[in-house]
Structure 1
Amino acid sequence: MAEETVQTPESPTAPAVAPPVLPAVSTPPAPAAPSWVTWLTATGGLLSVGAVALAWQSQSRLHDLEQELVRRQATAQTVAAEARQSAQQTQEQVRDLAAKLALAEARLAEVSIQRSQLEELLSQLSRSRDENIVGDLEASLRLAGQQAQFFGSVEPLVNALRQADDRLQRHKQPRLEGVRRAVLRDLDRIKALGAVDSTTLALRLDEVARLVDEVPLLVESQRVQKNVSPAVVAAPATGQGLTWQTAQTWVHQRAREVWSEFKGLVRVTRIEAPEAMLLAPDQVQFLRDNLKLRLLNARLALMSRQYDSVQSDIRSVLQALERHADARQRRAQVALEVLRQVQQQAKPIQWPRPEDSLAALAAVAGVR
């Protein structure tokens, strides 16, 4: 590298000094150097200059790289610190979110349970009118069937079927028309059985027991009503009011009275059972009491559904009345007729059930 000559200005205060003049000395001339050495020296100098320049340039780049590395390292540390801080914040947020998520899941489970309960409640409250009617009718018919068997009467079942028909008729829902037709079929079938409940039969037995004291018996004396003429003819008075026509009328009246009294002395009666006339007067009341006791026993057996005992007691009462009562009298005829009706109806029967109505209600309930 060529050295640079630095020229400094002379101080204005320094005096100019003239160089000394040396005497001329004669030197011998130097020998001429070869040309290749000069070229080699120049080449070496150039290479040295180039190497120094490259080294300086490499040193500069290395210094820049070190500065860049330091700068980037500082930036990386700053970013790492920010990343650590951000990661810490993220972890805290994740923990908060996890807690919130757990709380939300718990609330969601609670809401799901409440929703299921609410849906079930709404499903119960939002049942249609048809379903309510179907459930009510089915319950009422089953209860009426149980009451009919318990009380021994078809009236509860008939009343339940009539109420069901009225309710379905007011509702007028095409979906329930099949149920209404089934109800009408069951109602007609139960009415066609002609079953009389035990209460009605018991009332009829009470009526017969009341008539027993009033039924005329063959052994009792029959009252003969005298035929009294509607015109009462006064006895002929002595004096001017007596005439032949009046006397004739009075005689005829007295003759009819005498003839009526004479006919009452002898009475001819046809008696089918001669032993009925052999009852003593004190046995008549005993017979009536015995008949009433038989009827009371039949009533108790009827209420307890002992139909064999009922038939036996009614048969005994019928035989006694047919033997001892005067069948020509109206009260005797009424008592015998009522007893025959009770004997015909007091029989064990298979209590009907509204099978068609229950089947139709079950079919409608299965469709919903």
Structure 2
Amino acid sequence: MPGALARWRKPVVLPTWGAWLLSGAAALALLLAYNQGQRLNRMQEQLALQSGAIHEQSIEARTLSHEALALARDSAAKVSLSEARINEYTLQRSRIEQMAFELSRSRDETMLNDIEASLRLALQQAQLTGLADPLIAALRNASQRVERADAPRLSAIQRAIERDLQRLTHTAMTDTAGLLGRIDKLLAQLELLPLANGLPPLPMAEQPVLAQAPVVATPVASPPATAPTVEIGPTSAPRQPVAPAATAAPADANPAPSPAATQTGAPSPWWHGMRAGLGELVRVQRIDAPEAALLNREQTFFLRENIRLQLMNARMGLLARQSEAVRADLAAVQTLLQKYYDTNAPRTRQALRTLRQLQDHLQAVQSPAITETLVAIQAAHQSLPAPGAASASKGKR
């Protein structure tokens, strides 16, 4: 055992190349360790630089995020303000559009009211004067105003005005002066128309008193009594009072025959009177109306005055443009003439012919009317929408 231990304790001697090899290996290990240390240092420096840069970037990103958040908040505030302003502008626009619509509607409505008022005034003038000129002028003025308005909803009024203008220009109007002249001629010939019973007109002295003027007492001696004067209208001439000599007895009206006339054999006036009286005793005539034969002289006077009043009413109705009333009065006069007057007499036939012509003329002539234009204006008034309707429709959109 001791020998073995001694053998193991004996130092081992390495060769020289082994020592160099170990030295080289140690140097290489040291070199590698140094190189690795340098690399670690560089890596640490790079990591430190990178961490610093990352830290700076994080700080910058945080700053940018804060700025972006502030910008977002500012943008949100601006957006909300913009929305509020947009809503305000929208409200103002709707109000302005409503005001413009109301202004346009009021303008059209005012124009329609003016046109309707002018047309109705011209229609009244045409009915009073019997001339269509004022109405035609008013229609042409209304047509020009509608054309200047240039509104499609007023085209119906334009067409109605054109139709009324065409109808008025081709419509015959009443010849007032000519009709008045014919009525005045009938009034003048009324006393000359023969009755069916052949009675002559009642003398002035025997006519009933229709109007008695008040008598004023004066100290001067009054003149002889005269028959009252009857005035029936502006066209009838006042009747002259009859002198008392005209109302004397018939015996005084036929003077006694002179001796010269008796000696010459000429027919005496009393013979003429007797012959006329005998001729009136018997007369053969056809009378369709029995009451016409029973009229006495006083009744014939009132009959003539009634006809005169009917003609005067027709005259005033013609001046007042009341065609229906004029036709009714003329028809009444025609009925009286056919019933109580001699229809075979030329004057009566002429009077009846004149009455028929007057009635036919009044029936053929139509009063000026603009019914289509007025109806179109009323329809345009109703077609104008209400102010709230337009705003409601815009709100729905």
TM superposition score normalised by structure 2: 0.47
Considering Cα pairs closer than 8 Å and 6+ residues apart, tell me whether 1 or 2 has the greater RCO: 2
